[in-house]
Structure 1
Amino acid sequence: MKKCLSILMTLLLMFSILPTGFAEKAPVKKTVTYQIPLSVRNISKENTYPNSTQNLPHLQPSELTKKLINSSKVKIENPDLIRMLNESSINSSPFAIGYRAIVYLGQWPLNYESTETSPNWEYQKINTNYFDNRGGNVPYQIHYVQEVQKIVRGGLTAKVANAEDVKKMMLHKAMEKTKLPLSFETIIGGGTKNDHVYNIPANRLGYLYAFCPGVNEKGKVTYGEVYLMLKGSRKFIVVKNVTSQGIGAWIPVQDYVSFSFAASERPR
């Protein structure tokens, strides 16, 4: 009896320890935060050109579309394909025994998997403010004034099929990861200002450089031929000839400017 009681106590002790051991070995999910440097400032209120906000709401699939997407062995995230399926209507009949049909929906970029998202705060130079204080005896103050309107465009780093669909999926993933206002085109209007002051010492030349930040997005896009299969009352999607391709893109950050100030004895 004492021997059985001893074994029982040992087992209880083991079970009380095991969950703690397993919890310690559980993987910790790492989250990446994109800290905006102090040299980068939001100019959305000062920008003389009103950029249109890129709203990319997550398209909600209908009940039918959900069933069709879940029936596919390949993940489907393309919002344009989801929209087309949402607009489709398929009536089922309880007497459709033996009915069979195959509908070819075309070749589509089905999903995009992001592998790297890297901000470049000096993606493209947009302006230089300059003042020669070599003849002065006291510091001279300058601030940012955009001399001419500047259009900054991003784009894909390689040619791919259905490029616009791919850009939408890449933009959506990059915005989700960075929480930054991204757009493949942004405009900084002439006359845009920022009140932050930079001091040019006496006997120095002052240069205030302005840059449009951008995000370098890299990943993999998956293509496939999409077929809608109808068998009796069953409806499902089959994807054939699946291929994957690596792709990258530069996406400007909208209504943000990165500044770099330099004072020198000689012209640059």
Structure 2
Amino acid sequence: MKWQRILLVFLLILLSASPSAMANNKVDQSVKKMEQVKIPSHVLDIAKENTYPNPTQDLPYLQPSEFTQKIIKTSKVKIENPNLIRMLNETSVNNSPFSLGLRATIYLGEWPLNYDSIETAPNWQYQKINTNYFDNRGGKTNYKIHYVQESQKAVRGGLTAKVAKSEDVRKMMLLKAMEKTQLPLSFDTIIGAGTKKDHYYNVPAKRLGYLYGYAPAINEKGKVTYGEVYLVLKGTKKKIIVKNVTSQGIGAWIPVQDHISFGFRATEHP
């Protein structure tokens, strides 16, 4: 009887500790999921000051319909492609008494099915977009210089290699990078001429001052999985089968929208 009491006490302790441990584990996982890129102090948001109104990138994850949710769960390969999900959302297969003997295999095409992110890293000086300059070599006191965009500048990112259905791949990579960084990302962004930022830098007397502006970007690297997708109907049962699955490494540069990284240099000579 003694060992039974000991076993009962042990089980009670285990059960009481288990929910707490599970809660802590969930917190840790959510923290990892929401971990975002920290923006350094020399990178400033110019969304309000930008004379060119960039369209907001709004690419929420497309919610599968009830039919799509059920059918993608039957696939052995993860399906995340928004365009494929949209097509399945628009598909309906009604059950009827006459479908009991139905046998059909429908080829939906070869698709990029999912993107697995391996590395997401910022480059705060992805592309130089502007230089402001002041010659204070004849001055006796500091001169304050601030950023003014001299001419309109378009900043473009893109995939680092050619892949099939590149637009689908770009969309999946953009969604994953936005989720991981919590930054406003876009493959194309524009900084308008005359954009200003009231953040001053002192050019000392007897010096030349150079204020450089750079467009930052995210370097996204990972793996995209392709496969031939078939919708299989057997009576009232429906499922997805993916054949000839292949994977390919891929990278992309994705600019950070409406942000500029500044670098200041004061020197005696040009």
TM-score under structure 2 length normalisation? 0.91
Contact 2:208–2:266 (Cα < 8 Å) also in 1: yes
Cα distance, 1:85–1:18 mapped onto 2, change above 3 Å: closer
- CA shift, 1:150, in A, is 0.5
Unaligned runs of 5+ in 2: none
When the two chains are superposed, the root-mean-square deviation of aligned CA atoms in Å is 1.9
Q: Which amino acid aligns with 2:82?
A: P
Q: How far apart, CA to CA, are the structure 2 residues paired with 1:205 and 1:118?
A: 33
Question: Taking structure 1 as reference, are residues 8 and 228 closer, same or farther at Cα in structure 2, changes over 3 Å only?
Answer: closer
Partner of residue 259 from structure 1, selected from 254, 257, 262? 262
Higher mean C-alpha displacement, 108-117 vs 63-72:
63-72
Q: What does 1:63-142 correspond to in 2, within 5 Å?
A: 63-142=66-145
Count of residue correspondences: 263
Cα pair distance change 1:211/1:20, threshold 3 Å:
farther
Aligned to 2:42: 39
Structure-2 separation of matches of 1:163 and 1:185: 15
Q: Does 1:215 align with 2:218?
A: yes
For the pair 1:143 / 2:146, whether they are aligned, the reply is: yes
1:10 matches 2:15: no
Percent of pairs identical after alignment? Answer: 67
Q: Report the equivalent of 2:241.
A: 238
Q: Cα offset for 1:155?
A: 0.3
- Report the counterpart of residue 170 of structure 2 in structure 1: 167
The structure that has the greater radius of gyration is 1
Deviation at 1:12, TM superposition (A): 4.2
Counterpart of 2:6, as a letter, is: T
CA–CA distance in structure 2, aligned partners of residues 18 and 86 of structure 1: 45
Q: Secondary structure at the match of 2:260?
A: strand
Higher mean displacement: 85-94 or 247-256: 85-94
Provide the secondary structure at the position in 2 that maps to 1:144.
Answer: strand
Cα distance in 2 for residues equivalent to 1:168 and 1:33: 19
**Matched residues in 1 for 2:72 and 2:133: separation?**
57
CA distance in 1, matches of 2:235, 2:128: 61
Q: 1:120, CA displacement in angstroms? A: 1.3
Give the partner amino acid of 2:61.
H
CA distance in 2 between partners of 1:165 and 1:17 (Å) = 51
Residue identity opposite 2:37 in structure 1: Y
Shift of 1:89: 2.2
- Tell whether 2:89 aligns with 1:56: no
Change (3 A) 1:70 1:13: closer
Give CA-to-partner distance per residue, 1:57-90, whole Å, 9 cap, x none: 2212122111211111111111111111111222
